[in-house]
Amino acid sequence: MTHDDRTARPPQQERAIRTRRRILECAAALFDMHGYSATTVEDITKEAEVTRGALYHHFRHKQAVAAAILEAQFEGMTVPPQALRMQELVDAGYLLVYGLRIDPLQRGAARLTMEQGADPVDRTRVMQLWIDFVVSILSEARKQGELRPDVDVDRASRYFVAAFAGVQNMSQAFTNRQDLDEYMTDMWRYTLPAIVSDDAMGKLMVAPERGAQLARHGVVLAS
Amino acid sequence: MTHDDRTARPPQQERAIRTRRRILECAAALFDMHGYSATTVEDITKEAEVTRGALYHHFRHKQAVAAAILEAQFEGMTVPPQALRMQELVDAGYLLVYGLRIDPLQRGAARLTMEQGADPVDRTRVMQLWIDFVVSILSEARKQGELRPDVDVDRASRYFVAAFAGVQNMSQAFTNRQDLDEYMTDMWRYTLPAIVSDDAMGKLMVAPERGAQLARHGVVLAS
């Protein structure tokens, strides 16, 4: 969420918020580059140019930094409401893709979620949050008759989240996510027809440039 | 590939093959558990109960061990030919899933392919081998009229490989891949109808137990 009540805050509090944000962004960049295990608290304090005391004022340990990055990624996901509920899912996907390209927090969170080695980080919790997010949209879509009758909402939602994780991982490996919007479009093109009714399919807008378009219209992307 | 010409080999050579295989399996298990970066050559020699000399006789360095694991995974993928070419893709998926549950080499290879941190390992090369494998099947399927006309074979193939990677990653996180056959079924169910013609869809066999069935009938799973 963005805050427009900054003027109401005392300067110290504002500084603390900025410092916390800087720690998160620098830690996310390091996690993205080197992974969770290979990044130390000292690496983070150096990168963020803060003292150990400042870091420990905000976070109890490295694990708490990682948890905050994962929370921030999720909190930032707000999509404009649409008459066609499946459009909200498509938009959320493109916004996430856009965020992954411009926001270090999103990139760090993506690697934390994917990395088998980041065991102290509860990545299943984040996966579950994403699955719940998709379930809520698909459940509404079902009520509106946008889904094919044989679709299992829970399993389809789980599949969407899993496939997206794989898609962003491959795009990261090949082009450092520069073509992730194309991958996203392929995912919609080769998955939605099996899930969405023909009528709703005919109304859906699926296009690589949608993330940037939505972002330009003032949609919040990240915390 | 399996070899039935063992009797023709001198005992020393046989021992060398066994040692190499043990090194690969132990290294794969360690990579699967701790990741590439966190696993040292010493860890591998200890786990495999071989001397450093024995390991370096077979592999120049840790990177060569990882490369051999990735090769072995790919070489082992042979599926029985089918009149319906898309059935071969479905079968390959289920065989891979089955292999990931029973074969440490497959599990190690999966993590090496997914892990952003395993940079000295050329994971894009392995991804590309898998994409090429799917392209070859989809190209044949296209010739036989099994695909929807608007499907882009290259991009659909890339998407299959990416989505599978995500699916196995999520199943690993939640259940250590115990329910990967269900994830695989969801992937087929929620992707194939967008790619395969209605006629071919009606003939495809998609079922979680297919991997075990194929394996029982003597199909080779891994190197």
Complex ipTM above 0.90?
Answer: no
- Among B20, B36, B68, identify where a domain stops: B68
CB-CB under 8 Å, A35 with B116: yes
Residue in A with minimal Cα distance to B115: A115
Q: What DSSP state is assigned to residue A147? A: B
Q: Does A80 touch chain B (CB under 8 A)?
A: no
Q: Are A72 and A65 in contact (CB under 8 A)?
A: no
| Residue B83, domain CATH | 1.10.357.10
3-state secondary structure A74-123: HHCCCCCCCCCHHHHHHHHHHHHHHHHHHCHHHHHHHHHHHCCCCCCCCH
Give the count of domains, chain A.
2
Q: Provide the b/e sequence for B58-92 (b: ≥16 CB within 10 Å).
A: bbeebeebbbbbbbbbbebbebeebebbbbbbbbb
Q: Are residues A107 and A40 both part of a single domain?
A: no
Q: How far is A16 from chain B (nearest CA, A)?
A: 32
Q: Are residues A42 and A88 both part of a single domain?
A: no
pLDDT at B222: 40
Single pTM value for the model = 0.84
pLDDT at B205: 92
> Which B residues in the span 108-167 are in contact with A, Cβ-Cβ below 8 Å?
111, 114-117, 123-124, 127, 151, 155-156, 158-159, 161-167
Q: Are residues A186 and A91 both part of a single domain?
A: yes
Query: Per-residue pLDDT for B1 more than 50?
Result: no
Higher-confidence position of A130 and B154: B154
The region of weakest confidence among A31-45, B118-132, B183-197 is B118-132
pLDDT digit string (tens) for A175-187? 988 999 999 999 9
Q: How far is A159 from chain B (nearest CA, A)?
A: 7
Residues of A in contact with B187 (CB under 8 A): 159, 162-163
Nearest by CB to A174, from B124, B163, B164: name it: B124
At B138, the pLDDT band (50, 70, 90 cuts) reads very high
pLDDT digit string (tens) for B24-76? 999 999 998 888 888 999 999 999 999 999 999 999 999 999 989 988 877 76
Q: Are residues A83 and A139 both part of a single domain?
A: yes
Q: Is residue A222, in this structure, part of any structural domain at all?
A: no
CB-CB under 8 Å, A117 with B116: no
Nearest by CB to A162, from B127, B166, B195: name it: B166
Residue A86 and residue B154: Cα distance in Å, rounded?
A: 26
